[in-house]
Amino acid sequence: MPVTAASDTSPLLAVRQLSVFYGQFRAVDAVDLSVRAGEVVSIIGANGAGKSSLLKAIIGQADRIEGVISYCGEDLAGQGTAEIVAKGIALVPEGRRLFPSLSVEENLHIGWEVGRQGEIGIEDVFGFFPILKERCRQKARELSGGQQQMVALGRALLANPRLLLCDEISLGLAPVVIDSLYKLIPAIKARGIGILVVEQDITRSLAVADRFYCLLEGKVTLASRPSATSREVVMQHYFGL
Amino acid sequence: MAGAWANQIIQGILLGGLYAMFAIGLSLSVGIMRFVNIAHGDLIVLVSFLLLTLTTRLGVPLLVATAIVVPVAFVGGYLLQRLLLQRVLGQGVLSIVLVTFGLSVIIQNALQGIYGADTRLIQGGGIETETIQLAGGINIGMLPLAIFVFAVALVFALDLLLYRTRLGARIRAVSDDVASANLVGLRSAHIYAVAMGIVGVTVALSAGFMSVWTNFDPTSGPSRLLVAFEAVVLGGLGSLWGTLAGGIIVGIAQSLGAQVDAGWQLLAGHLVFLAVFLIRPQGLFPK
Ligand SMILES: Nc1ncnc2c1ncn2[C@@H]1O[C@H](COP(=O)(O)OP(=O)(O)OP(=O)(O)O)[C@@H](O)[C@H]1O
Ligand SMILES: [Mg+2]
């Protein structure tokens, strides 16, 4: 059972008995999970555990799902990604997925257009990542990997999400760059945004998380708080020992 | 003698304007949606027949008729993409070729059935006979000049739309990577359909010009497609200015070929296309 935080507020996101299928293959298997406003929840798990599939299902990009994805009390199952994003869920996709021929500014602005158009504007993103302001006319493909990840995160933030989904934002980046990205998480959290972080890097992931779920072959094997769990227990559930 | 050749080159450039008009829509669909619409020429002919009905049956002046047809063509392009082409997009090149080929056959047969096989021309209200006299005995027709200027203006406008507007950025985003676009919440099917609506507008405009300048009948589509295709490939896929240049090159080649021998006109265009294609398969101004 997921550990419930202060139970006076209802969760922003409550996933119940969610399964995600590719054909006959069940990539996510009856997962229960919740995220509250202003809470950082991490999902850890090895390659192929089903982390990305879970996020894709939440954002409305899975072919076939079973179960309930309840967001602010409304079931998202069957809704299109455009509607879901407009309601306040944004994804920083695995592998960044920028539009390579568009400028930095154009990439960022797309996040604004598809989103809720709230208080976070492009100047805020330039405030988080000043380098992007200098590069704003350059094409996304001309940026370094770290700068591209900043654009991907900025694009998602510009959608003014209430729930931010981050899929392996540290992948392939130098530690200093990862630090600069993770430094932002407390600021995002302070705005009351719920954050669901997917990482393979357990240390990094648990350091920012209020709660975490460990996923193994599509199933939740452990749901706990970083402070309440020893490294050994985490590793056991991560590898399924 | 030199004057005659100079004249042919000028006429060729102007003819290239018409060819560019044919090709701009195809260039957009190749550049943005990355497919070749085999029915492109037939759609131009279809709109020409619509204009024919409006002008001859209902007595609407051609300019007004074109103004009526342009928004209709936008909606038509939107629905064509949304209801038909979108279903086969991403299922390999062959499906879309087969579907648009089928569309081409349907349009040709429907036009034959409704209008018969006669060759048609729409009266432009006098502009088609007006000319400007230049030094050296060169005459420039007002209509070809107007078409050429319009083609340049259209390329300019579409270039602005694609590269300087938010809508253009959304269209380029979907064209860059549909899956990513869907993942961040862009409505890619709608955006593609809007792009096809814009293609429809260019189809309507080129039909307006073509129907006054050249004869057409229900089977004229494929030859229009061929010229458009040559212009697009010559210019380089995805480049609108390249398409304009490609149209002009085909126009000049045809015009010079005709100067040698009337029978050489079309062949000269194809030969120049083949020659450039062999030397620069990526086209002159690839994106
Ligand atoms: N499009 C797809 N078609 C078929 N199977 C897929 C597809 N995408 C993922 N899978 C399978 O689903 C399972 C879960 O994949 P998923 O990408 O969700 O894992 P992940 O935890 O994100 O892994 P990673 O850490 O490598 O990103 C894997 O076994 C994978 O092979
Ligand atoms: Mg993944």
Domain boundaries, chain A: 13-239
- The string of DSSP codes covering A196-236 is EEEES-HHHHHHH-SEEEEEETTEEEEEE-GGGS-HHHHHH
pLDDT of A55 higher than 50 = yes
Distance A50 CA to ligand 1 centre (A): 6
pLDDT of A137 higher than 60 = yes
pLDDT of B136 higher than 80 = no
Cα–Cα distance measured from residue B99 to residue B43, given in angstroms and rounded to the nearest whole number: 14
CA dihedral defined by B100, B103, B104, B107, rounded to 10 degrees? -160
Q: Tell me if A44 sits within 8 A of A206, measured CB to CB.
A: yes
User: How many beta carbons lie within 10 A of that of residue B109, not counting itself?
Assistant: 12
**pLDDT grade for B1, boundaries at 50, 70 and 90:** low
Cα–Cα distance measured from residue B133 to residue A84, given in angstroms and rounded to the nearest whole number: 63
User: Considering only CA atoms, which of A45, A74, A94, A89 is closest in space to residue A213?
Assistant: A45
Average pLDDT over residues B111-135: 88
pLDDT of B283 higher than 60 = yes
Domain boundaries, chain B: 16-279
> Which CATH class for the A13-239 domain?
alpha beta
Each residue's pLDDT tens digit, A58-86: 999 999 999 999 999 999 988 999 999 99
Average pLDDT over residues A106-128: 95
Q: Is A61 in the pocket of ligand 1 (CB under 6 A)?
A: no
Give the residue, by CA position, lying nearest to ligand 1 atom 29.
Answer: A48
Each residue's pLDDT tens digit, B190-208: 999 999 999 999 999 999 9
Which residues in chain B are contacts of A90 at CB distance < 8 A? 184-185
Average pLDDT over residues B239-249: 96
B3 to each of A45, A121, B91, B131, B259, how far by Cα in Å?
A: 78, 62, 53, 17, 12
Give the phi and the psi of residue B156 in degrees, each rounded to 5.
-60, -45
What's residue B181's pLDDT? 97
How distant is the Cα of A131 from the closest Cα of chain B, in angstroms?
22
A109·B166 Cβ contact <8 A: yes
Pocket test for ligand 1, best of A22, A59, A214 (most atoms within 8 A of CB): A22
B186·A109 Cβ contact <8 A: no
Which residues in chain A are contacts of B170 at CB distance < 8 A? 110, 113
Pick the more confident residue, B135 or A35: A35
Cα–Cα distance measured from residue A71 to residue A1, given in angstroms and rounded to the nearest whole number: 19
B166·A59 Cβ contact <8 A: no
Q: Tell me if A101 sits within 8 A of A93, measured CB to CB.
A: no
Task: Tokens for B170, please give them.
Answer: 């959304």
By Cβ distance, the residue of B166, B170, B185 closest to A85 is B185
What's residue B91's pLDDT? 86
Interface test with B, best of A94, A98, A101, A160 (most B CBs within 10 A): A101
Q: Rounded to two decimals, what is the model's pTM? A: 0.93
By Cβ distance, the residue of A56, A100, A155 closest to B184 is A155
Burial A33-66 (b: 16+ CB within 10 A, else e): bbbbbbbbbbbbbeeebbbbbbbbbbbbbbeebe
